[in-house]
Amino acid sequence: MKIQIVLWVVFFALSLPTRASDGIVLDDFEAGDQGWSPVDQGWIDFEIVDNPFPGAVNSSAKVMKVVRKAQTQTWAGIILRDKMELAFGTFPDQYRYIHAKIFKTTNGRVAFKLEKTGDAGSFTNTQNYSPSGEWQEIIFDVGGAGGTRYDDYFIMPDQTGNLSEDITIYIDEIVLKPDPEAGENREIELPGTFQPVWSDEFNGSGYDTDIWAPQIRGDGFGNNELQYYTGLEKNIFVRDGNLVLKAYKEPYQNREYTSGKLWSQNKKYIKYGRIEARFKLPKGRGTWPAIWMMPQNSVYGGWPDSGEIDIMEFVGYDTDKVYGTVHREAGSGGNGNGSNTSIAGKTDDFHVIRIDWEPGYIKWYLNDQLFHTYNNAFASSAQWPFDQEFYLILNFAVGGDWGGAQGVDENIWPQEFLIDYVRVYQKTEKTAIRQIKNTPFSVSSLSKDELIFNSSLQYPLSINIYSLSGQKQWSKNTIPNDLGTIINISDLPKGFYIITVSDKIHSYSQKIIKR
Active site residues: 308, 313
User: Which letter does DSSP use for residue 387 in this model?
Assistant: S
Torsion of CA 245, 251, 254, 256, to 10 degrees: 60
Question: For 410, what's the count of Cα atoms within 13 Å in the CB-facing half-sphere?
Answer: 3
Side chain identity at residue 302, one-letter code:
G
Residue 429 in contact with residue 191, Cβ under 8 Å?
Answer: yes
Which of 387, 332, 496, 383 shows the shortest CA–CA distance to 145? 383
Side chain identity at residue 473, one-letter code:
Q
Which of 292, 353, 350 shows the shortest CA–CA distance to 325? 292
The counts of H helices and E strands in the chain are 0, 40
Residue 236 in contact with residue 247, Cβ under 8 Å?
Answer: no
What string of H, E and C letters represents the secondary structure of 163-190? CCCCEEEEEEEEEEECCCCCCCCCCCCC
**φ, ψ dihedrals at 437, nearest 5°:** -75, 155
Sign of dihedral through CA atoms 316, 352, 313, 209? positive
Side chain identity at residue 75, one-letter code:
W
Q: Give the DSSP letter string of 436-504.
A: -TT-SEEEEEEETTEEEEEES--S-EEEEEEETTS-EEEEEEE---TT-EEEE-TTSPSEEEEEEEE-S
Pairing of strands 227-229, 255-259: parallel
Cα Rg, the chain, nearest whole Å: 27
Whole-angstrom Cα distance, residue 128 to residue 142? 15
**φ, ψ dihedrals at 335, nearest 5°:** -100, 10
What region does 163 belong to: left with phi over 0, alpha with psi -120 to 50, or beta? beta
Whole-angstrom Cα distance, residue 416 to residue 245? 6
**φ, ψ dihedrals at 334, nearest 5°:** -65, -15
CA distances to 259, 271, 278 from 263, in Å = 14, 16, 17
Q: Which residues pair with 36 in a beta bridge?
A: 80
Side chain identity at residue 425, one-letter code:
Y
**φ, ψ dihedrals at 499, nearest 5°:** -95, 130
Whole-angstrom Cα distance, residue 230 to residue 394? 14
Q: How many other CB atoms are found less than 10 A from the CB of residue 51? A: 19
